[in-house]
Structures are given as structure tokens and as C-alpha cells.
Structure 1
């Protein structure tokens, strides 16, 4: 049977429980603007009577003995969080791809008055002018200058692509470093959370920090996570373990740091503990690896094709003609790629504008070179195909990034509505706990007065 003083114990348990509820609401309000903070809730349960096991000659009071705060839990939706991590990885990947295509488009600057297409058009036009004035030294000089401008444009485009490659490689190296740091910190936080759980200590703030790092890994590399019964999380990268309990692994970035070396030594990722390949196809790092191994080499190769076509076409026709002295034409360009192509001749008299060796300046060979502008197999066609492919692919990357950004934002909003702090709700909780605390205090005061009457006034 319950003691005469059990009511005081019941009231006291309520005072403690409501006070803890007030503390938890206060913690939520204090962290309303803290990134990664999860709303907490006080889990209360009623306390049963002294015993729920039947005994002979014993009668139990049907009324319980108060309230107990079992735990302070974080409000989380694990399924929603798993999807949030997946979409964050996709969003970071598509955003990175959109940015790299924007950078490549800035290299070619088409259409524009300063792009390579405009330089090529002016080059062929100057050949046409020379065909009409084959003996004019100024026109010959202009042809050479414009031919040099085309070669310089190819050189500059290659240099810019190389710069973008080096920057992307440095970015990938920084991302790998961030991944390794975050993985090690998650393992350390896992250890703290597991120890706290065993000792019955609170670990919600530790779990918030850890989950924020897991989301960071999703952004960086498309990482996924699995929660253990011990409170720890295991983190994986496309089937390979990155964090397991209190242990973490590290990644290493290997391969060429420059565009010119990429073909012979493509960048790759490995785990440092065993040298096995690490597959990353999502997140910022996934985008960086695709940029280094696919996007930039593709357009560098296309640019080299333009340079090779230009050199082969112009040299082929130029060497069929004759210069101002009646000598056979020499190669107009040297080099067969965008990095190395340059002017081969430096004397305007060496420009092979004539189609005959008899010293007569007929300009027919210059006319043939001018006609390259309308050739279906000339360098202009190769270059326009490059620009068209880049434009279509870049537009597709932008649309994917915009769509994925919307999806991610919607999920973040859903996640915030589930786990984030609502000031209106917390204000309501404060009032609820306050009234309950006041009622428990009134209960204790009433019982105290009752007992005072019983003890001091009975038997007079």
C-alpha cells in the first residue's frame, strides 16, 4: 500500500520532470539558429505502484507514484535523412558539373568578336584579299599576322584549359583532405556517443555534430550512413567502408596534376590502408574526378583536333603553291596540337600565294586557301562541332543542376520541418510545462497542509 507521504514523492517527481521539460525547451530555443541542431523532446512515462507482482495477503494501491523522464530524444526521421544525404550528393555533383562547363565555355567565348571562330574567318578573308593582290607586301604581312593570331588563340585556349585542370586537381586534393578529416572526426564522435550511451549520459549534441559531418561527407563524396544499435554510425562510399564504429579510413588522390600528363596517368582515388581503388561518382569529389578524367580531356582533345586540321589543311595547300620568289611553298604552321602550333614562316615573301612557279603572281593558291572557309571538311567545321557539342552539353548540365537544386531544397525544407526548432511550438511547450510545474507545486502545498492538519491537529 502507498505511504501517507507518497503524494509528496509524486508531486516531487512531477516538479523534476516539468523542470526538465522547461530546460529542454530552453535548449531548443537557444539553438533555433544553430545549423545541424535537432529538436529535442522530453520523454515522460508514468511510474507504476510499488509492485505489479501479485502477493498473498497484500493489496496494492491502484494509483501510480508519479512521473519519470526516461530520456531526452532527438527528433529525427532516418529514412528522410538518408534521402537528404543522397540528394545532397547528387546536388553537389550536378552543381560541380555545371560550374566546370561554364568554365570551359568561358575559354572559347563563342559567339564573340574575339573568339577563335572570328579569327579563323578573318584569316580566310585575308587569303581572299591576297588572291586579289598577290604582290602586295602589306596584305602578305596581314595574312601572316592573322595566321599567327589563330595559332595564338589555340595556344591560349589550351593554356586556359590547363589552368582549369590544375585548379580542379587542387580542388579535388582539398576535397580528399576534407573527407579524411571528417571521417576521422566521425569515428571519434562515435566513440564518445557509445561511451555516453553505456554510461547513461546525454549525447544528443555529439550526435548532432556527427550527423552534420555525415551530411558533409554526402556533399563531398555521396557518402551513405547506417546507424548501429550502439548509437554509432557506419559510413560507406559506394559499397566501401569509410567509417566503421570508432575506426576510419583515408583516401589518397593519385595521378597527373597537369593536363598534358593526364592521358598517360589519369587521376584516381585509392584507400591508403590497402591501396584498393575508391569509387566516388557523386558529390563534389565525384564531379571533380569526372572533370579531370572526362570533361577537360575531351575538350582539350577536340581543340587539338582543330589545331591538327588547321595545320594539315593550310600546310597541304600552301606547299602546293609558290612564294613571291617562285619557290615552292614551305609549311605555314609547325606543331600538330593546340599547345604547340605556331607560325613556321617569318618572311612575307615566303607566303605561297601563287599557283605557278613561273614567277607570275596569279594568286590562285591564296584563293584556294580562302575557299577553306566554306569547306565541309575544314578546321572551321571541326571547331563548330566542338562549340555546338559544348553548348548542348553545358545547357543540359545547367538544367540538371537547377532541377536537382529544387529537389534538394524541398527535401531540406521537409527535414527542417521535422527536426528543426519551431519557436511557436516551443513557446507552447513552455506554457504547458510551466502550468504543470505550478500544479505540481500546488499539489505538494496541499499535501503539506493536509499532513500538517493530520499531525498537529489530530487527537486534540
Structure 2
């Protein structure tokens, strides 16, 4: 009977609808599950003279509620958010390393400088000298501690990268396996909804680590690509990711390598897009390097200036001062190493030979916190690029485009830039490259060099005295030695008027300006003298080696005053040494704030994108409950239809049996 068939079909169709609705409700909290719907269609009617008579309903398919565009947008937004959040988290940790306040490096530097005030006032006071040495030791300790914290952060990043790359490789294999299952299932002419959901979720999870692009194939599988065009998954096969050192073999900077069928390709970090791995690599290769360089420059400039000034003093035994801090070596040079050493010239480095390529500091006040890429562009020319900003280092300030030249026949001719000097480049061939890392490890081994208070060289090797018959208002403002032991002394300055003077060491007449330094001969100047006031004709000022005078050098604190005065010397991008740490904190703080803002914005975007996706694919409990009632009533009505058909059939049998 037709009505029985129609009822049976309706019963089955509504039963499937009930089962599907129940499945939706059961998977409301299942990650990646897409709401499913039963698509019903009418059975073609039977033609009769009275017209077409309906033959019921059938289920065409179980449809997955899915929007490819929204799913893709959600995955991309989540990938960007993962990269921004990861970088922001690590920059926050970096900011914590460079803390301000009394526990920061800046406070210890200022305390160290200020401690020389008491030494200058009482040069023979061993207690004041001990305090100064303690402050020096504390400054070195905090610099080392910051460097160790950066090393610990680097170790954590390396471990995290290894774990996340392992997770990517596992996800890629799983996607390849699901691809194979989907391709087989597609032969049944019905979409395997659960497998498709599983693959979408795997791809979404993969995007948390590295941003991907998916391209569907005819067999139902998808190709998953990273870095723009590198195939991570093709059908049922998956490539593997790994970490490698950069082109110069730097262990502190990594590249991502993808291996497909035994062919390894180093990927361009700038094309990775989002994902936690991208965020980690960007932080490690850019932000952490910047942090190391800022700390290294601070350490190099502060300790180098202090050592140089301390060497210009005399200790309680009349001996020239030694180093206050362990001298910093900036001679960290790398050459391309992948797949093998690529330079073809004869330049050596790191062998300890006198002919090695050598990098040294020549001016601590012009150092820039950056690595450098040196490229030999011709037999006599070289380009030097700051890695931090990509700017070519100018040699000719008036014309920065003028290339840097070197003498290929004379290795000793230096190339000077940004307060550094590079020597022994002779023998380099065109195309040779060198990577300079002056500051990356500068603070790692910094220590105080001695602990004996009497060895603190706070006496100036030069003394000055006014003429006993002076009549003007001339006063000594400062007298600083430029070399130790002193050279070209004694020197007598005789004033011929209120605005002119002669010198016993240099012929001629010179213009006097109150407060303007008078420099000794030589490079560097043997001394720097600053006088204040208005002299009269024949007034004199005499400079002498303090050891040749009747003065007690033990009572002289001139070099202690000079050490204390270093805090006001322009050292960091024109800022005073005492402001150098504040500049470092500012640099890191700006990066951290910018990254935090980006993470906040990308988080909001990701949440909105996921909300849009779930609006299409997600399970709404209220909607499903309403459908449950709808299909329940339809099922009951279908059962009633069968019951009616059964009653009709029973009546017919009874009638025929009479």
C-alpha cells in the first residue's frame, strides 16, 4: 500500500533527523565539530490519470554546516594572534630582566659613580675606597646576572621551539593520514563529515604553531603549505620541520628548515606569517638579539670608559691604575658556514694569529647596539650594514653613498665605523662576507679586577699651580690627564692679556676664553685644562708631573673626580652615561608595549572571526532543542500514518474474509 510506504519512509527520515539532532547536542562541546543537518528530498511522484501521486520522502545526505571562507579566516586570525601573543609574552619577560628602581643596573652604575665622591674628598680613607670597590663589584654582578637571564631565556626559547616543531611534525602526519582516509571515503559518493571536521581541526591546531595555506585536491584531500609555497602535506605524505643555525653558524639565531623527500630547504623567516613558531623566531632573532646588544653596548661603554679613566690615575703606591673591570672583547666574527665555508679569500679569524681579522673598540661614545654584516663588494671596497636597522654605515658623512675602501696589500690599515675598528681585511675576495657581533656576549664574564683598596688609582698624575704673583681672578676648573705617565710637562701658560696667552711647549700666541678647555699636545691630548676667570698680564699657570712636585699624591683625588664626572659624558646616542640604562629600558619597553597592543588587537580579531565561524558551524542548544521537538512530532505523525495504514489493511482483510 502506498500510504504504508510513505509512512515508513517518513518514519525513517524523521528518525535520521532525530539521530542527527541528538548527535549535534552530544557534540556541543567537541572541538572542531560542525553542526550537521539532514537534507530530505521528495521521492518522484507516480503518474496517474488524476495526476502525479506523491510517493514519500527520502534522505539525500547528511550535510555539514560549513563555510570555507569563515573557517579559513578563523584559522588565519588565530595564527596571527598566536604569533603576537607569544612574542608579547616573551618581551614581557625581557622587560622584567631589565628592571628599573634600586635593583636595576642603572641604579648600581649611579651608585658606583657617586661612590667616588667620598674617595675624591678623602683619598686616603680606605673605607671610602672599599665602598667604591663594592659598588664596582655590584655593577659587574648585575651585568652578569642580566646576561645569565638572557641566556636562560634563550634556553627556554630553544626548548619551546623544539617542542612546537615536534608538535607540527605530528600534526602534519595526522593530516596526511586523515587525507588518505577521506580520499577513500569519498568513493562512497557521500561526504565523510566527521573526517572532514577532524582534518579542519588538525589544520586549525597546526595554524597555532605555523600559518598555513590549504588547497583542495580532486580526491578530497588537501595540500597544506607554509612559508608561502613550501608543501608541508601533500595527499598522504608529510614533510618534516627542523631547526638549523643561521647562514653564519650563529647558535643564538635559528632558521626553520623543511625537508621534503630528502631535500632540505631553509625557509625565509619573514614569509612564515603567524603562529607561535614564527613569534618565537622573531623574538629570538630580533628582540632578544637587540636586548643582548643593548646590554652589551652598555657594559662595553661603561666598563671601557671606567677602565680607560682609571688607567690615567695613580694608586696609593704611585703606580698607574689597572683595569677596574674585566676588559670586554668585541672580537666576535662569523663567516658563512652553510653548507660549507663560503668565503674564498685568505682572511682568517679566531685562530689567535696576529693576522686574524680583528674588531676592537676605538670610541665608546659612538657605539651602536647592533650586529653588522660586512660584504666585500670589490677588490678594494666593502659595505658594512647594521643588522638592527638595515642601514649602510656611512664613512663619508657628507656623502654616505661613498663606499668604504680598504688596501688589499696592507692588512693593518683599519676600517673605522660606529666607534669600532676592523683590521686585517687584506686578502678578502669579492663576495666574501663576515658577520660581526660586538656586544652579544660582552656582559657574560664581566667582573671586578681587583679587591685591594690601595690599588684604586684615584690620584691624578698631573698637578697644576697658580703663579705666586698672579693678580687676576684666574681659577682652576678642571685638570684631567690624557696619558699616564704624563708627557710634555712641565708646561707653563703665561697670560699676555685678559684674552691671550703663550705656552712653554708650543710656539705662538693663543686666544683665551674662560671655561674653554686648553689641550695638551699629542693624540690623545696629553692633558685637558679648564680655567675660569679673568687673568691679568703675566699671570701664570704651571702643569707638572705630580711625582716631581712636593705634593703628596696620596692626598690627591683628581682622578676620582674624573671618574665621577664620566656619568655626565655623552655616551649613548648623545645621552649621558648615567642615562644609558634608562635608554635601554625605554628601547625594550617600547617594543613590549607595541607587541602587547598588537596581541590585544589580534586577539579581538581572532575572537570575532571564531564567533562568525561558530555562527555557521557551531551547535546552538536552543535551536537543536526546537528541532528535536519538531522531528519528534514528525516521527509520531509518521507512526500514526503507519497505524492508519494498518487499520485500513485490517478492515480490508476482514471484508474480503466474509
**Alpha-carbon distance between aligned partners in 2 of 1:348 and 1:192, rounded to the nearest angstrom:** 78
**Alpha-carbon distance between aligned partners in 2 of 1:204 and 1:315, rounded to the nearest angstrom:** 72
Alignment match, 1:307: 299
Equivalent residues in 2 for 1:387-402, closer than 5 Å: 387-402=585-600
Equivalent position SS for 2:62: strand
Alignment match, 1:120: 109
**Alpha-carbon distance between aligned partners in 2 of 1:262 and 1:134, rounded to the nearest angstrom:** 50
**Alpha-carbon distance between aligned partners in 1 of 2:185 and 2:50, rounded to the nearest angstrom:** 37
Alignment match, 2:449: 344
CA drift at 1:455? 4.2
Equivalent position SS for 1:65: coil
Name which of 259, 262, 266 aligns with 1:272. 259
Name which of 561, 580, 583 aligns with 1:367. 561
Name which of 99, 113, 129 aligns with 1:109. 99
CA drift at 1:345? 2.3
**Alpha-carbon distance between aligned partners in 1 of 2:292 and 2:591, rounded to the nearest angstrom:** 15
Q: 1:26 to 1:403 in 2, by over 3 A?
A: same
Alignment match, 1:38: 34
Equivalent residues in 2 for 1:117-266, closer than 5 Å: 117-200=106-189, 203-237=192-226, 238-255=228-245, 263=250, 266=253
Alignment match, 2:6: 10
Alignment match, 2:655: 457
CA drift at 1:335? 2.8
CA drift at 1:229? 4.4
**Alpha-carbon distance between aligned partners in 1 of 2:96 and 2:215, rounded to the nearest angstrom:** 42
Q: 1:50 to 1:384 in 2, by over 3 A?
A: same
Please say if residues 255 and 262 of structure 1, whose CA atoms lie closer than 8 Å, have aligned partners that are also in contact: yes
Equivalent position SS for 1:339: coil
Q: Deviations over 1:58-88 (max 9, x none)?
A: 8695123111111112111111111111111
TM-score normalised per structure 1:
0.92
Equivalent position SS for 2:40: strand
CA drift at 1:451? 3.3
- The CA RMSD measured in Å over matched residues stands at 2.0
Q: For structure 1, which runs of at least 5 residues remain unmatched after alignment?
A: 52-57
Alignment match, 1:408: 606
Alignment match, 1:384: 582
Aligned: 1:446 with 2:644 = yes
**Alpha-carbon distance between aligned partners in 2 of 1:226 and 1:363, rounded to the nearest angstrom:** 76
Name which of 75, 84, 100 aligns with 1:94. 84
Q: Deviations over 1:172-226 (max 9, x none)?
A: 1111100000010011111112222213566322222221110011111012223
Larger radius of gyration: 2
Q: For structure 2, which runs of at least 5 residues remain unmatched after alignment?
A: 329-441, 462-545
Equivalent position SS for 1:342: coil
**Alpha-carbon distance between aligned partners in 2 of 1:278 and 1:180, rounded to the nearest angstrom:** 16
Please say if residues 305 and 382 of structure 1, whose CA atoms lie closer than 8 Å, have aligned partners that are also in contact: no
Please say if residues 568 and 577 of structure 2, whose CA atoms lie closer than 8 Å, have aligned partners that are also in contact: no
Equivalent position SS for 2:619: coil
Alignment match, 1:437: 635
Equivalent position SS for 2:78: helix
Select the structure that is richer in helix: 1
Q: 1:81 to 1:390 in 2, by over 3 A?
A: same
Name which of 307, 311, 318 aligns with 1:319. 311
Alignment match, 2:43: 47
Alignment match, 1:55: none
List 4+ stretches of structure 1 deviating above 6 A: none
Moved more, 35-44 or 82-91: 35-44
Q: Which has the higher contact order (CA 8 A, sep 6+)?
A: 1
Equivalent position SS for 2:318: coil
Q: Deviations over 1:369-425 (max 9, x none)?
A: 111222222543433222111111111111111111111112222222221111111
Alignment match, 1:427: 625
CA drift at 1:269? 1.1
Q: 1:275 to 1:198 in 2, by over 3 A?
A: same
Equivalent position SS for 2:45: coil
Q: 1:115 to 1:371 in 2, by over 3 A?
A: same
Q: 1:60 to 1:320 in 2, by over 3 A?
A: farther
Name which of 350, 355, 377 aligns with 2:460. 355
TM-score normalised per structure 2:
0.65
Q: 1:375 to 1:262 in 2, by over 3 A?
A: farther
**Alpha-carbon distance between aligned partners in 2 of 1:74 and 1:113, rounded to the nearest angstrom:** 61
CA drift at 1:340? 2.1
State how many pairs are aligned.
445
Equivalent position SS for 2:84: helix
Equivalent position SS for 1:45: strand
CA drift at 1:432? 0.9
Alignment match, 2:273: 281
Q: Deviations over 1:414-444 (max 9, x none)?
A: 2222211111111111111111111111222
Equivalent position SS for 1:352: coil
Equivalent position SS for 2:143: helix
CA drift at 1:344? 1.8
